[in-house]
Structure 1
């Protein structure tokens, strides 16, 4: 099998020696080409080239969730085709690795490589559903290019936290869970819309949901991890269904503390609940509109401010070796 290993050399938890060990191990079973990313968006370009070339059968992403997202967007540049496109495999190398862990892979890169080789030898794979977000017709965001996401997107509070974390990383800070929690507190204090929501969720065949302060869109569960602890914003979300949404209509100090505690105690059976929480399951198509520009993120990548976004849940979008 011809395969392309896309390596992010800046991945948080892998060294050059570990990357060499992984590529050597994969070369024992694959006709492997190794490509190291050199700029933002390079993994997407490599994924697209692999999909259009017709020779590569498998693309392995070695990096964090951002690297995986770029590879997926490259593979799906011309749309989903689970059987016609190269298959995807993931070796986690970032600080959180939500997509890889949601697939059941070990969080250690070397162990995950062993699991990948076992899956290849057994011919084990599965199709996964993905989310697609695009600019909303008739809005100022209409021309924004569509973006696939593997595990989550967000408009409002959580995206603001992601943006703050990225700013700190650009200043040289390491991506740690302590850093993330500090930015949660700072975003909570600074967010001007947490008490009076500006977001409306519209569905083709449903009543609109108004006055959301934040909207978290989940394609799988858990939503994220704090160290080894999974956090479930939408416990029913799954790679086998469309998209789930957790919305919050008010985040006063008391309500915010309550929902933060519920997230920390969340389980596969129970996520945040309460007077100001809105939980929606298995949505195929919906649009978020905001009266004010709000932070927006996809798979943990901050994409600036948006006033609208249209979401589609695409079942069986890509085949993954697992």
Structure 2
């Protein structure tokens, strides 16, 4: 459903305690939105985890035309779950739901960046205003997950058992003791999680079927990632590509490591973050990796306590998780209608990151 830029009601959701949501950023985006003819803006502030989800629960286009979550992937996850409601049974009518436009202010912002938003927050803010002015929306695929006796919920970015979930849980625990989520903290926690896998590798059984009925038979792996985006995540300005053909227009992309031990395990992990894609290394790790694209349904089973994460948030230790892909689940404001898969060229992405930073702060573009 296309919106005319006339009498458009926008809801901005922000966290007043966030250190990344600066007054300078809001002074840039709020007046620009209010300057658009026919746009009215309302701001609401969150005060605890899950508050954004409660705020948007049950909202329709009769309430707001656009919802802007100012935050990272966790905030986007809350808004999606609140807006779409239960992921079981009949879904809410897409035409009745407000569109989502993201103001990325989190630490990674995988969702926004996979949609094509600039890495610099001020450039992203400018892009958001321009997208609303042009009414540039698209529909995207989302994932759902159900663990043990829990209800089924939505996810936008990724989900998985293994090292990534272990790192997220450990970082959250460190933050609860007052430590900042710095790159050094992530490095230390990641090394500890890696050592743990060498001593006692997790055992995760994965089964999947894609949109054409092709099946991934039972595989036992120590690490499994399911991504709804491409890239899967980012290391600063650098994309981490696990499934190059994955996108918001296809099913889930699965990437697993069959072994994390020895030199081959290290090589496979380096491959995961985009290092060493030459022929010799590809041949070395071919038997250590599993890649499966366009998955419609995925079943993950663990015979021991393993941490599980969804959109960068720790979700406990379920013994069984079922993931599904739902097409045309939500409308979003996105810079690109169909983004092309990113090329893993670290120099190019670093250049673009620096370019956006200089454009906004030096030239005011």
Per the normalisation by structure 2, the TM-score is: 0.80
Match of 1:149 among 143, 149, 155: 155
Q: Which residue of 1 aligns with 2:207?
A: 202
User: Which secondary structure does the structure 2 equivalent of 1:134 belong to?
Assistant: strand
Match of 1:317 among 320, 323, 329: 329
Instruction: Answer yes or no: is the 8 Å Cα contact 1:233–1:266 preserved in 2.
Output: no
Match of 1:91 among 103, 116, 120: 103
Instruction: Answer yes or no: is the 8 Å Cα contact 2:197–2:260 preserved in 1.
Output: no
Instruction: Answer yes or no: is the 8 Å Cα contact 1:232–1:267 preserved in 2.
Output: no
Q: Which has the higher helix share?
A: 2
Matches of residues 281-296 of structure 1 in structure 2 within 5 Å? 281-296=293-308
Q: 1:269 to 1:320 in 2, by over 3 A?
A: farther
Match of 1:304 among 312, 316, 339: 316
1: CA distance, partners of 2:276 / 2:58: 40
Superposition RMSD on alpha carbons, in Å?
A: 2.4
Q: 1:67 to 1:193 in 2, by over 3 A?
A: farther
1: CA distance, partners of 2:291 / 2:253: 7
Instruction: Answer yes or no: is the 8 Å Cα contact 2:119–2:237 preserved in 1.
Output: no
2: CA distance, partners of 1:194 / 1:278: 20
| 1:75 has 2:83 as partner | yes
Query: How big is the shift at 1:187?
Result: 0.4
2: CA distance, partners of 1:193 / 1:151: 30
Q: Which runs of 5+ in 1 are unaligned?
A: 136-140
Which deviates more, 107-116 or 67-76?
A: 107-116
Alignment size in residue pairs = 314
The C-alpha deviation readout for 1:281-319, integer Å capped at 9, x for no partner, is 101012111111210000000011111101111111111
| 1:115 has 2:127 as partner | yes
| 1:15 has 2:32 as partner | no
Match of 1:233 among 235, 238, 242: 242
Query: How big is the shift at 1:20?
Result: 4.2
2: CA distance, partners of 1:269 / 1:93: 35
Q: Which has the higher strand share?
A: 1
1: CA distance, partners of 2:44 / 2:94: 23
1: CA distance, partners of 2:72 / 2:30: 17
Q: Post-superposition, which runs of at least 4 consecutive aligned residues in structure 1 deviate over 6 A?
A: 267-272
Query: How big is the shift at 1:219?
Result: 0.5
Which deviates more, 18-27 or 54-63?
A: 18-27
Query: How big is the shift at 1:224?
Result: 1.1
Instruction: Answer yes or no: is the 8 Å Cα contact 1:287–1:311 preserved in 2.
Output: yes
Instruction: Answer yes or no: is the 8 Å Cα contact 2:216–2:292 preserved in 1.
Output: no
Instruction: Answer yes or no: is the 8 Å Cα contact 1:129–1:315 preserved in 2.
Output: yes
Q: 1:279 to 1:128 in 2, by over 3 A?
A: same
Q: 1:161 to 1:113 in 2, by over 3 A?
A: same
Instruction: Answer yes or no: is the 8 Å Cα contact 1:194–1:213 preserved in 2.
Output: no
Q: 1:266 to 1:100 in 2, by over 3 A?
A: farther
2: CA distance, partners of 1:86 / 1:176: 35
